[in-house]
Structure 1
Amino acid sequence: MNAHILQPHTGAIRGDRYLASDPDTVSWGWLANRATAPVASLGSGQSITIDTVSHEGILDDQGRDPLRYLAQFGVDRAAVLDDVVAIAGSSIANGPDDGPHVVTGPIHVDGARPGDLLKIDILDLAPRVPYGFVSSRHGYGSLVDEYPEPDGWRHDDDKITAPGTISHFCRVRGADGSPAQGVLDAGKGRTLPFGLAPFLGLMGVAVDTDDPVPSVPPGRHGGNIDVKHAVVGTTLYLPVQVDGAGFYTGDPHFAQGNGEVALTALEASLRATLRLTVLPANLRASTVGGVDVPFLETPTHWIPTGMDPDLDVATQRAVRNAIAFLNTRFDVPRSIAMAYLSAAADFEISQVVDAVKGVHCMIRKADFATWI
């Protein structure tokens, strides 16, 4: 299994700049704050290609030895990413109090100031390997006290994971290196295929604090928002908190269902090309309306978000943010906006597994075609 491998510094680089993930450019389990030194700089409107790294296959409960761990599943050395090996073998600490995510950045964006918006256009997401993992761990996930089942089925060929962890190896099949399906071993000689839609689960800006910022809970800064609609062609808007924005990314996925109920989705490394543009504060109302949290835009939908440890409160916040968007951007009366959302918008659960739960609202652009 050594075809279609995007090792660092090899293959097509589509951005104006390139950023590899190595022990000098990543943090493990923590996000940037105002004191974190940037590892790269961009001019507003420039693009950057980032080799993101999945944490699955390198965590302590998987042995922190990706060569040995992946060999169990028939993955030879040529198909293991060099940056994955370097990060796992480095002195970067990643203990039980740290988040799992390998986070690349931060990136300084010239001209970004608090009050501005950072516009992140997702230009390209290229799978770096033809495999990934879906994992479940005791104490986490939507059925925290039920899964993994103590006597549940697990892969016979996984001899390394610690008790309380089940990591399902998932092969990818497709044509010409473009994965079309993930394939899970379903036991009894059966396989379970499903479609892929790669996206970055974690994109954010530096938080205006000197305190450490954990990578698991998302927030106003973005971070681990896990909104599956952040695919190629989508734009993410984040409110800038510190000079230079301090953009970072990680937690790459090949696929995820709304909810991400097991704990992880199909986690696998991606080569991401993103364009980072500063939108000054006076353009916020005409872009995201009155919303001051992560906001996504696809060719067909506007997607305000809501987050809270309580799923009901997260839903309420998503509703308020959707109303604020329609009221400020299009001058829709608030009561009419509420009626429209109830009749025509879809509120989806982004994820329920990241301590702070996420809900996002799908507002169809087609309904406002004559307004734009």
Structure 2
Amino acid sequence: MSVLQPHEGEIPGEHYLPATPEHVLWGRLPCGADTPVLRVRSGASVTIDTVSHEGLLPDQGSDPVAFFAGHGVAREDVLTDAIAIVDQVSRDGDHDGPHVVTGPILVEGAQPGDVLSLTVERLQPRVPYGVISNRHGRGALPGELPRGGATVSVFSPVQERADGAVATLPLHDGGAHVVAYPLAPFLGTMGVATAGDHRAHSVPPGAHGGNIDVKLLVEGTQLHLPVQVAGALAYVGDPHFAQGDGEVALTALEASLRATVRLDVVPAAEARARFGELDGPLVETPEHLVPTGLSADLDEAVRRCVRASLRLIQARWGMAEHLAYAYLSAATDLDISQVVDLVCGVHARIRKADFAEVERG
């Protein structure tokens, strides 16, 4: 697996947005007062470089060259944009989040009330390694792990095998035997700007999207978001090579990706017919519609996910509320997206095929 430095390698989109210091925010998300770094028409595809925060943070030395050298990575295999971000982009370690986000991108014609659909067309790993960290007592077992309170950052190299690339972890530090697990790259952060002049913290997700960490957002899927400001001001970041639902240690396999994303404006009336009154992120895969529920309380996140699912089914297929509720109970899985981002996430997987007869009329 080759290293994709800025401007190198395949760039399939109509536009290219490298993750140079002037194109990123570190720890905050774009707001309505921010100046876009790129302007595109609705329907345009943009190839966007993203940079993982792992290896860049103060508890890892704020020196990606030295951090990754400690794991046997040569300097030429460390991303130059990651080095530049540490050197040139400001971040308040006491008040900002860890994530590097690329953008914002203005999409012509987008207005509040519309929906912006982000279609993930391609995800290319930029490096052959990633990092999984447990820190701050904010995983699923705060107070238990990490032992002693010190950050634990686990290096996970990628191996090319006959049946595809896998990431690996040793059974013991320094041990020869490894556990291999499949890659399923996705962007943990995809969003639109919030209204006003306050940049939201990069960790908690919300109606704007942001750090939703829904691992279903692989190539060929979409994220639908309610537009909050003119032009939408879209952004992406928090790249992953793999994640389990829950993301229990705080991070999953964090690693930089080159993402090609198509940006489509769905006018308000069409959006209501397709999605109902959308007040938060909605994922769509070829097989499923995936409403989300977000709350600091996991039980409330479940309730919000169920309400979002009911609204979607009623608006899209005209199903009576009590019957839609019965359908959800009998046929739909609710999964925990993550429990580690201050705001917990739950998502429902509604099979489109179940409504095929309704769609045919």
Q: TM-score, normalised by structure 1?
A: 0.94
Aligned to 2:325: 338
Letter in 2 for 1:206: A
Deviations 1:74-98 (A, max 9, x none): 1001111110111112152241221
**Aligned mates of 1:286, 1:123 — CA distance in 2:** 25
- 1:60 pairs with one of 58, 61, 77: 58
Deviations 1:307-338 (A, max 9, x none): 00000000000000001100111110000000
Residue 19 (structure 1) aligned with residue 17 (structure 2):
yes
Equivalent positions of 1:1-372 (< 5 A) are 3-150=1-148, 164-174=150-160, 180-187=165-172, 188-372=175-359
Give aligned-pair identity as a percent: 53
**Aligned mates of 1:83, 1:60 — CA distance in 2:** 17
**Aligned mates of 2:279, 2:200 — CA distance in 1:** 19
1:33, 1:212 within 8 Å by CA — same for their partners in 2?
Answer: yes
Deviation at 1:16, TM superposition (A): 0.3
Letter in 1 for 2:252: A
Letter in 2 for 1:164: A
Q: Which has the higher helix share?
A: 2
Query: Against the structure 1 CA distance between its residues 67 and 179, is the aligned structure 2 distance closer, same or farther, given a 3 Å change threshold?
Result: farther
**Aligned mates of 1:230, 1:283 — CA distance in 2:** 23
Deviations 1:318-366 (A, max 9, x none): 0000011001111100000000000000000000000010000000111
Q: What is the SS of the residue equivalent to 2:88? A: coil
Deviation at 1:224, TM superposition (A): 0.3
2:184, 2:218 within 8 Å by CA — same for their partners in 1?
Answer: yes
**Aligned mates of 2:181, 2:275 — CA distance in 1:** 34
Deviation at 1:292, TM superposition (A): 2.0
202-211 or 126-135, which deviates more = 202-211
Aligned to 1:159: none
Letter in 2 for 1:128: R
1:307, 1:318 within 8 Å by CA — same for their partners in 2?
Answer: yes
**Aligned mates of 1:138, 1:118 — CA distance in 2:** 34
Letter in 1 for 2:201: P
Q: What is the SS of the residue equivalent to 2:262? A: strand
**Aligned mates of 2:34, 2:142 — CA distance in 1:** 34
1:135, 1:165 within 8 Å by CA — same for their partners in 2?
Answer: yes
1:291, 1:304 within 8 Å by CA — same for their partners in 2?
Answer: no
137-146 or 238-247, which deviates more = 137-146
Letter in 2 for 1:238: L
Q: What is the SS of the residue equivalent to 2:166? A: strand
**Aligned mates of 1:305, 1:90 — CA distance in 2:** 36
Letter in 2 for 1:149: R
**Aligned mates of 1:106, 1:126 — CA distance in 2:** 21
Q: TM-score, normalised by structure 2?
A: 0.97
Q: What is the SS of the residue equivalent to 2:147? A: coil
**Aligned mates of 2:122, 2:208 — CA distance in 1:** 23
Q: What is the SS of the residue equivalent to 1:31? A: coil
**Aligned mates of 1:338, 1:227 — CA distance in 2:** 23
Deviations 1:196-219 (A, max 9, x none): 100000000000122231110000
1:290, 1:329 within 8 Å by CA — same for their partners in 2?
Answer: no
2:117, 2:266 within 8 Å by CA — same for their partners in 1?
Answer: yes
Q: How many matched pairs?
A: 357
Q: What is the SS of the residue equivalent to 2:22? A: coil
1:130, 1:179 within 8 Å by CA — same for their partners in 2?
Answer: no
1:94, 1:100 within 8 Å by CA — same for their partners in 2?
Answer: no
Structure 2 residues not aligned, in runs of 5+: none
Structure 1 residues not aligned, in runs of 5+: 151-162
Deviation at 1:179, TM superposition (A): 5.8
Deviations 1:213-256 (A, max 9, x none): 11100000000000000000101100000000000110000000
Letter in 1 for 2:5: Q
**Aligned mates of 1:7, 1:179 — CA distance in 2:** 22
Query: Against the structure 1 CA distance between its residues 179 and 58, is the aligned structure 2 distance closer, same or farther, given a 3 Å change threshold?
Result: farther
Letter in 1 for 2:151: T
**Aligned mates of 1:132, 1:290 — CA distance in 2:** 38
2:215, 2:245 within 8 Å by CA — same for their partners in 1?
Answer: yes
